[in-house]
Amino acid sequence: MDTTGYAFVTGGASGIAKAVCVALAKSGARGILVADINLKGADQTVKDCQASSKNADFHAEAIEMDVTVENSVKAAIQRMLKVFGRIDYCINGAGILAEYASVNDASLESFRRTIDINVQGTFLVLRAAATAMASQKSILIDPTLPQRGLTRGSIVTLGSIASFIALPKGAPYVAAKHAVAGLTKSAAMDNIANNIRVNCVCPSFVDTTMMRGLFELAPSMKQTMENGLPMGRLALPEEVADLILFLCSPRSSYINGGIFTVDGALTIGPHANV
């Protein structure tokens, strides 16, 4: 019932996707291909995974990949299949924050870049991974409970609370993350017959390198943000990774097309900290 298969992870050089890679290694995954435009960071993730792995046969590799370039995505998927033979889990972790500007002031260049990486990138990886999964052999999800059926793989996309709500001066990012949620639902519907599940995880504010970079530019932002969070702190990347691993695992065999928040109750309504 563990995640002991082979994983393809985009954006794995840092942040949530890196936490997913390490968590997969700890959970007994047999192999991981870490795909990122930052090859040096992806190489470091591979080293961290190797140090954390609980599987004697574990193997991990890094590959440079640009999610906005179709041939780059195809090449990474082909490498995954050549090295590991199949894709059991695909985690779409690559993404960027957008220009901090109102919809009236946001530049078209920033909007296009945000859509290219967060939406087009998710689409290209989704399509390539689902196509590869659909052609591979189905396996029994749980031999002790065969009623769970068969699987060819599980895909998890990375949304955001911005998949549900608007954020001030964040129109490009909000538009992109709403689109990721829609892509996830469509991909889940289109791949049910292929025994492929597709779900989306939507965190709020997470303590990542990207977020810490924002805090360096605006030191007061961290405290202001934490004061506005119901649980009084940012999420840990590992906390988001926990849900992603669950959605990859046989334990979520009847969960498909879901959009799940990891937001510490932020989106449920007004709370005492506001």
Decide if 43 is inside a domain.
Answer: yes
Note the pLDDT tens digit of each residue in 66-123: 999 999 999 999 999 999 999 999 999 999 988 888 999 999 999 999 999 999 999 9
Helix H or strand E encompassing 51: helix 39-52
The closest alpha carbon to 120, from 154, 155, 94, belongs to 94
Q: Structural domain tally of the chain?
A: 1
pTM confidence score = 0.95
At 115, which CATH number? 3.40.50.720
Note the pLDDT tens digit of each residue in 12-35: 999 999 999 999 999 999 999 999
Decide if 271 is inside a domain.
Answer: no
Decide if 274 is inside a domain.
Answer: no
Which of 177, 185, 222, 254 is an active site residue? 177
Note the pLDDT tens digit of each residue in 231-269: 989 999 999 999 999 999 999 999 999 999 999 999 998
Decide if 268 is inside a domain.
Answer: no
Decide if 199 is inside a domain.
Answer: yes
pLDDT at residue 269, as a whole number: 83
Decide if 223 is inside a domain.
Answer: no
**254 catalytic per annotation:** no
Instruction: Give the model's confidence band at 2: pLDDT under 50 very low, under 70 low, under 90 confident, else very high.
Output: confident
**89 catalytic per annotation:** no
Which of 6, 18, 89, 173 is an active site residue? 173
* Residue 261, amino acid: T
Decide if 267 is inside a domain.
Answer: no
Question: How much of the chain is in helix, strand and coil states, percent to nearest 5?
Answer: 50, 15, 35
Buried b (16+ CB within 10 A) or exposed e, 216-250: eeeeeebeebeeebbeeebbbbebbbbbbbbbbbb
Decide if 152 is inside a domain.
Answer: yes
- For residue 36, the enclosing domain spans 6-206+236-260
If you average pLDDT over every residue of the chain, what do you get? Answer: 95
